[in-house]
Amino acid sequence: MKTKGLIAFIFLGVASLWASSPGTVGFSFLRTQVGARAAGMGGSFLAVPGDIHAVYYNPAGLFQLKNRTATATYLNHVLDLNSGFVGYSQPLDPWGKVGISALYIDFGEFKKRDNTGLELGDFGASSLSLAATFAFEPLTHLGVGMNAKFIHTSIDNYSAEAVAMDGGVIYTFPDHDLHVAAGFFNIGAALSAFVDEKDDLPFHYRAGFSKKLAHLPLFFSFTLYKYNREEWHGAVGGEFQLSDKFFLRLGYDHLGQEMQVGTSKDRFAGAAIGFGLLLKQLQIDYSLTSHGEIGSLNRFTLSGTF
């Protein structure tokens, strides 16, 4: 029945110890990419500051947001699953920036049957994560951020809850348009289980950088990440500024190698493409991400400042 400055660096050390804990990993929907801009860059978004989706990818990135910002994403998932993400952030001067966000996945309706195959009606399944974010700048050009999360997932009349936290840092070298970041995600524990055994959360840590190239209209990002009891993976993304208002994005996540099943579609697994359009204070983004033979994911995002 399973669905599966200094303070930040202290958190990173504690998180590394937590990563060795045994158990079955659940709450796998927390591995979902959010935001069409980030997904179009292969999910390599750890070291991208000043974007509202930092509430999900690295809370430290909020420290460069200047205005109140909101975003909403619709994801057309494989097997007709539906998912949505919303986020909001605003300055809390002089202390820093705050934000809230929610990730929701509806797995649809299923037929319920007994051991003899007799149909007993329908049942649903869904997952929800709610997060509160705080980011501040303890030193010039250094952002530190943390998330506190409540997680709920349900199947029919069964449910499980968990609490977790994320932490991250990001340092900007303004003379070089370079950002370097690190963070840990989903360190926490289940509060309840579907039946008897509580699942571990998909704890992982990430490190990466992003840079705006000096002689090309290209913003480049690279991220290394590792989930507990899994191998290291990498993601790379690029955003080409074709005009003042139009952006083209390409990305690749090495995790796509694990999606290959031996068909002609394998060569696209992990690849992503997308575009962005600026209309005054509104930004419209779209991305297409390939999971190989499994299918492709379409994301549509609207973001705005006010």
Tokens of 8: 């930040």
Summarize pLDDT for 132-143 with one digit per residue, the tens. 999 999 999 999
Residue 300 lies in a domain: yes
Tell whether the model's pLDDT for residue 56 goes beyond 70. yes
* Geometric angle at alpha carbon 101, from 99 and 104, rounded to 5°: 180
Tell whether the model's pLDDT for residue 194 goes beyond 90. no
68 to 87, 100, 255, 301: CA distances (angstroms): 11, 12, 34, 17
Do residues 55 and 163 make contact, with C-beta atoms less than 8 angstroms apart? Answer: no
Residue 286 lies in a domain: yes
For every residue of 116-175, DSSP letters joined together read T--EEEEEEEEEEEEEEEEEEEEETTEEEEEEEEEEEEEETTEEEEEEEEEEEEEEEEGG
DSSP state of 114: -
Residue 139 lies in a domain: yes
Average pLDDT over residues 167-190: 97
Summarize pLDDT for 71-104 with one digit per residue, the tens. 999 997 766 678 999 999 999 989 999 999 999 9
Do residues 129 and 150 make contact, with C-beta atoms less than 8 angstroms apart? Answer: yes
pTM for the structure as a whole? 0.87
Higher pLDDT, 15 or 196: 196
According to the model, what pLDDT value does residue 118 have? 80
Tell whether the model's pLDDT for residue 124 goes beyond 90. no
Tell whether the model's pLDDT for residue 107 goes beyond 90. no
Residue 84 lies in a domain: yes
| Site of tokens 């289940």 | 190
Torsion angle defined by CA atoms of residues 66, 36, 303 and 63, in that order, rounded to the nearest 10 degrees: -20
Q: How far apart are CA 82 and CA 293, in angstroms?
A: 19
Q: How far apart are CA 289 and CA 39, in angstroms?
A: 7
According to the model, what pLDDT value does residue 25 have? 61
Omega within 30 of 0 (cis) for the link into 217 = no
Q: How far apart are CA 12 and CA 65, in angstroms?
A: 24
Q: What share of the chain in percent tops pLDDT 90?
A: 68
For residue 92, give the CATH number of its domain: 2.40.160.60
User: How many domains is the chain built from?
Assistant: 1
According to the model, what pLDDT value does residue 222 have? 98
Residue 1 lies in a domain: no
According to the model, what pLDDT value does residue 13 have? 40
| Site of tokens 């963070």 | 183
Residue 282: pLDDT band by 50, 70, 90 thresholds?
Answer: very high
Do residues 215 and 235 make contact, with C-beta atoms less than 8 angstroms apart? Answer: no
Residue 145 lies in a domain: yes
According to the model, what pLDDT value does residue 80 have? 67
Residue 53: pLDDT band by 50, 70, 90 thresholds?
Answer: very high
According to the model, what pLDDT value does residue 113 have? 78
- 3-class secondary structure, 65: coil
**By residue range, what is the domain housing residue 33?**
6-305
According to the model, what pLDDT value does residue 4 have? 32
Torsion angle defined by CA atoms of residues 258, 263, 269 and 271, in that order, rounded to the nearest 10 degrees: 150
Residue 96 lies in a domain: yes
Summarize pLDDT for 1-32 with one digit per residue, the tens. 333 333 333 334 433 333 333 344 678 899 99
| Site of tokens 């492709």 | 296
Q: Which residues contact 203 (CB under 8 A, 6 or more apart)?
A: 15, 18, 19, 184, 185, 186, 187, 227, 228
Q: Which of 64, 104, 67 is nearest to 88 (CA)?
A: 67
Encode 105-138: b = buried (16+ Cβ within 10 Å), e = exposed: bbbeeeeeeeeeeeeeeeeebbbbbebbbbbbbe
Tell whether the model's pLDDT for residue 262 goes beyond 70. yes
